[in-house]
Structure 1
Amino acid sequence: MALKTTIFAANLPKQVLYIMNTKIAVAKGDGIGPEIMEAVLRIFAANNVQLEYEFVEMGKSYFDAGHSTGMTAAAKDTIEKLGILFKGPMETPKGKGVKSINVTARKVWNTYANQRDFRTLNGVETVFSKAGIPINLTIIRENIEDTYGGIEHLLTYDVAVGRRIITRPGSEQVIRYAFEMARRKGYTKLACGHKANIMKLTDGLFLEVFQEVAKEYQDIESSDIIVDDLCMKLVTHPEKFQAIVLTNLQGDIVSDLCAGLVGGLGFAPSANIGDNISIFEAVHGTAPDIMGKGIANPTALLLSGILMLRYMGFTKNAATIENALLYTLEQGVHTGDFGDKAIPSSGTQAFADAIIANLGKVPADGGVIEKANLDTRANADHHILTKNKLTVTRGIEEEMVGVDVFVESNDLQPAELAELAKKRLTDNFDLVMISNRGTQVWPTGSIYTELVNEYRVRFEKKPGVAVTQKELLHIAADFSQDVKVCSVEFLMKFGGKIGYTLAQGQ
């Protein structure tokens, strides 16, 4: 079936534009954030980067001041007006029931593609650098959906559930971005990491979209790999991978794993790309234990800033600053968290001073040339929206075929629950299955399957019968006379294919 979802113009390669006097929003961050941001902006100024900065109020202190989103209304308006946010690390207060400011920012502004580039850096010693195995790979992580929706409920005191949301439009956005990114960086291979062998509908949808989009990129070798196998191969042969696209949670885990391969999160840049707003940030922690000591490593934030410069069209500045960083590392200059211990470490600002002194120099190994590796956009491309964008795949035949009723029972055995369910049947429905924690316990099962107090009871319509949503809800309402109903899910067919999974053992 051909995909009919919207293809967004911002996902397609653009001519590189050199933009002068461009204003961006800057959030210094918490903990060491202000120190490393100062270092990075000084390097930008020394290389005559033509940017203007509007500093915005975000982070822990704004949570503490009563802003539940971690930012002021003025900060939100500024970021939406300018379209670019450059931010330091931020802390979300613990135990206050508030959402992560980092996740909130990415989701609210639909920065659907998280790009993290991982490469071997001279002067940053790792197991692989010692073995002479170079690493140069990119992880593209879907940034909006998955379990990061944070939609969770306690169905009973003993049973918590979370909704894992994977959508066709969201998957296509990030996957198409990954293929375009691979082309720009000159990659010949792109892999899709997934767990579709277990999560057949959610990861299965992501993989299906990957395979559909891959048909449009015959110049790039596409493949898929189960995520646990991927992790094993990344820690044994990372040099075999060029680019990998994954769902949100799996991408989060795998990108941090890859950071460990090249020296840690202190060397991991991060770009969050959306059609209208993009965020460039350091993803390491706020390190409150060294705050104010002037010893923090600004490398990750600087590398993220370099990605931002390329994105905005400042490709000459980006290449010059990156080469200066690489040259500085090659000379053995380092902060206290890495490097040759025989060479005295530099503080944050001294490290920045060394990079500034080396502007214009190129490392003996691994120098970069002036080019873009992200979609480049000009301020003229940033649109102030007046309504939310809605993307829907249309023209698919839908059919209701039944209902799963999730119920609480603290003492009933499966056969006893089945007898209660049968009392609620009509001529249109059959009771087909009862499961507990996803494993079938009726009409067949094992006495050795341990139970909790939440069951899924499945009713399906009889062949040739048309049923309505009202009838399905009536079954749940009627069933509630005998047991506590916790939740209801309709069973659907789309294009003749079932849109639900069978129980384990069904």
Structure 2
Amino acid sequence: MKIAVAKGDGIGPEIMDAVLRIFDAAKVPLEYTFVDMGKWVFDKGFSNGMTPEAKHTIEDLGILFKGPMETPKGKGVKSVNVTARKTWNTYANKRVFQTLHGVDTVFSKAGIPIDITIVRENIEDTYGGIEHMLTQDVALSRRFITRPGSLQVIKYAFEMAKKNGARRITCGHKANIMKLTDGLFLECFQEVAKEYPELRSDDIIVDDLAMKLVVRPQDFDVVVLTNLQGDIISDLCAGLVGGLGFAPSANIGDHIAIFEAVHGTAPDIAGKNIANPTALLLSGISMLRHLGLMENAAIVENALLYTLEQGVHTGDFGDKNTPALNTTAFAEVIIGNFGKTPEHMARPLLPNAPVTQTAFKLSRNEMMVSEETQQEIIVGVDMFIESSGQPEFIAKKCQRHAGVKFNLINISNRGTQVWPTGSVYTNLVNQYNVRFESIDGSPLTQQDVLGLYVSLSGDFRICSSELLNMWGERKGYSLAQGQ
């Protein structure tokens, strides 16, 4: 089977060469097609960090194994890592964090075993990178959480938990504050949980989750989160087991999957042959299992676990009283330990599934739309305006533009209501949200809203606007703090 391989930047080529040498020694039945991605590709003028040939190859083969990659700073370009995950809709980021004997942490020394799988939504949230400066003082980032996208990753998490015999699956969220976005994610979790009554499912506010992971990590099994929260919590979990050098990562989509080390490129040690290849090797082992190469995966992983148990280490971890091995020597020791069984966490030698190359040739983009069960109506609009005036001054001007179809309901600044009630102790910036709703809740048209926009623009610069929608009795918008 052919897979695409991108060696990456910094220490990427060294650790990728070490991992592929281990795979070759284990007679892993894969062929590697090397593709051009990373900082040096940005520097050649490719703004997405990959050549057109690389994109075609990855889409043709369906599997990308990649080393760490750097995004040039200050050039207005997007991260190639995020671009790859989003372009190919690898909607589930799976990271497994386990106690590795030979990698000392405060928990391993206390005899507390850790086995946590974080499933992070990988496409949406603030990682859409949709940002605007509304005024010279106010930046806006749009956070998209969608029902179809949430269902995709949550269903994956439940299926994976069921397949692996998980004892618990938890939704981490901030729905107590972000009632619509995180609220939608939590709602989808609760909806999917009904289809898996055999699994214990629960939810937890993400800040409480962070505290409990540090205090009692052994209580958690599978945790599914939105993108940004999942990014932060997965790095926290990496710290529980020894750092990002021991954190594998799999990005799973319906057609394409990406396996990578999530640590940085470490340019300070690049070219010195001293980097730790463990994270990339663990990611590669996850890739082998994804491809059905169970026996090869077990042979390599057992050799790695045995090697760590023996106290063999690179310079970034382990007993400082014993000599550290370089990248090449560390890989060679692992190869020499093929066939040996670790004392802890030994993997069973399951047979490989038949290796088949599955090519998905798509002719158009898939559209994911949920069926609407209730009619959508427009009941108002939020107008985001630029002004340095006081709330009362703004309210008087806005009321003159309300006409016969709108009522001025409230004015807020940075999410806090400042009119009709508020406090002079609330500090203000030069951007307000002015909320108009229809008189008596009557449905409005987009033409009604545009008419208000034109009228209001005579007095204010309008930075942005959002329709206030309702589905049945359900409001599709949040209230201001203090409203």
TM (norm. structure 2) is 0.98
Deviation at 1:382, TM superposition (A): 3.4
Matched, 1:254 2:252: no
Deviation at 1:422, TM superposition (A): 0.8
Matched, 1:233 2:236: no
Residue in 1 that maps onto 2:382? 404
Name the aligned partner's letter for residue 42 of structure 1.
R
Residue in 1 that maps onto 2:278? 299
**Is residue 379–residue 441 contact of structure 2 (8 Å, CA) maintained in 1?**
no
Deviations 1:351-383 (A, max 9, x none): 0000000011110111112469xxx99755431
Residue in 2 that maps onto 1:485? 462
Name the aligned partner's letter for residue 470 of structure 1.
Q
Q: For 1:260, what is the secondary structure of its paired residue?
A: helix
Q: For 1:279, what is the secondary structure of its paired residue?
A: strand
Cα separation, 2, equivalents of 1:301 and 1:405:
48
Aligned residues: percent identity?
66
Equivalent of 1:432 in 392, 409, 414: 409
How many pairs align? 481
Matched, 1:390 2:367: yes
Q: For 2:203, what is the secondary structure of its paired residue?
A: strand
Name the aligned partner's letter for residue 26 of structure 2.
N
Query: Residue 378 and residue 459 in structure 1: after superposition, are their counterparts in 2 closer, same or farther (change >3 A)?
Result: farther
Residue in 2 that maps onto 1:362? 341
Query: Residue 377 and residue 127 in structure 1: after superposition, are their counterparts in 2 closer, same or farther (change >3 A)?
Result: farther
Name the aligned partner's letter for residue 103 of structure 1.
V
Cα separation, 2, equivalents of 1:173 and 1:464:
35
Cα separation, 1, equivalents of 2:233 and 2:71:
22
Q: For 1:346, what is the secondary structure of its paired residue?
A: coil
Name the aligned partner's letter for residue 463 of structure 1.
D
Equivalent of 2:15 in 21, 36, 43: 36
**Is residue 312–residue 377 contact of structure 1 (8 Å, CA) maintained in 2?**
no
Name the aligned partner's letter for residue 422 of structure 1.
Q
Residue in 2 that maps onto 1:78? 57
Residue in 2 that maps onto 1:468? 445
Deviation at 1:465, TM superposition (A): 2.5
Deviation at 1:458, TM superposition (A): 0.5
Query: Residue 111 and residue 253 in structure 1: after superposition, are their counterparts in 2 closer, same or farther (change >3 A)?
Result: same
Query: Residue 118 and residue 377 in structure 1: after superposition, are their counterparts in 2 closer, same or farther (change >3 A)?
Result: farther
Matched, 1:47 2:23: no
Cα separation, 2, equivalents of 1:231 and 1:76:
37
Cα separation, 2, equivalents of 1:447 and 1:37:
59
After TM superposition, where is structure 1 displaced by more than 6 Å over at least 4 residues in a row?
A: none
Residue in 2 that maps onto 1:444? 421
Cα separation, 1, equivalents of 2:40 and 2:363:
31
Cα separation, 1, equivalents of 2:367 and 2:259:
25
Deviations 1:202-221 (A, max 9, x none): 00000000000000011110
Most deviating of 34-43 and 388-397: 388-397
Query: Residue 315 and residue 417 in structure 1: after superposition, are their counterparts in 2 closer, same or farther (change >3 A)?
Result: same
Deviations 1:269-313 (A, max 9, x none): 000000011000000011111111111100000000000000001
Cα separation, 1, equivalents of 2:36 and 2:404:
62
Alignment of 1:8-407 (within 5 A): 22-370=1-349, 379-396=356-373, 397-407=375-385
Equivalent of 2:474 in 468, 485, 497: 497
Q: For 1:253, what is the secondary structure of its paired residue?
A: helix
How well do the aligned residues superpose, as a CA RMSD in angstroms?
A: 1.2
Name the aligned partner's letter for residue 171 of structure 2.
C
Cα separation, 1, equivalents of 2:441 and 2:422:
29
Name the aligned partner's letter for residue 369 of structure 2.
V
**Is residue 274–residue 325 contact of structure 2 (8 Å, CA) maintained in 1?**
yes
Tell me, which stretches of 5 or more residues in structure 2 are unaligned? none
Cα separation, 2, equivalents of 1:340 and 1:465:
72
Name the aligned partner's letter for residue 467 of structure 1.
L
Cα separation, 2, equivalents of 1:274 and 1:124:
32
Deviation at 1:474, TM superposition (A): 1.3
Q: For 1:164, what is the secondary structure of its paired residue?
A: coil
Q: For 1:336, what is the secondary structure of its paired residue?
A: coil
Q: For 1:297, what is the secondary structure of its paired residue?
A: coil
Tell me, which stretches of 5 or more residues in structure 1 are unaligned? 1-21
**Is residue 63–residue 256 contact of structure 2 (8 Å, CA) maintained in 1?**
yes
Residue in 2 that maps onto 1:10? none
Name the aligned partner's letter for residue 108 of structure 1.
T
Query: Residue 426 and residue 184 in structure 1: after superposition, are their counterparts in 2 closer, same or farther (change >3 A)?
Result: same
**Is residue 84–residue 279 contact of structure 1 (8 Å, CA) maintained in 2?**
yes
**Is residue 265–residue 284 contact of structure 1 (8 Å, CA) maintained in 2?**
yes
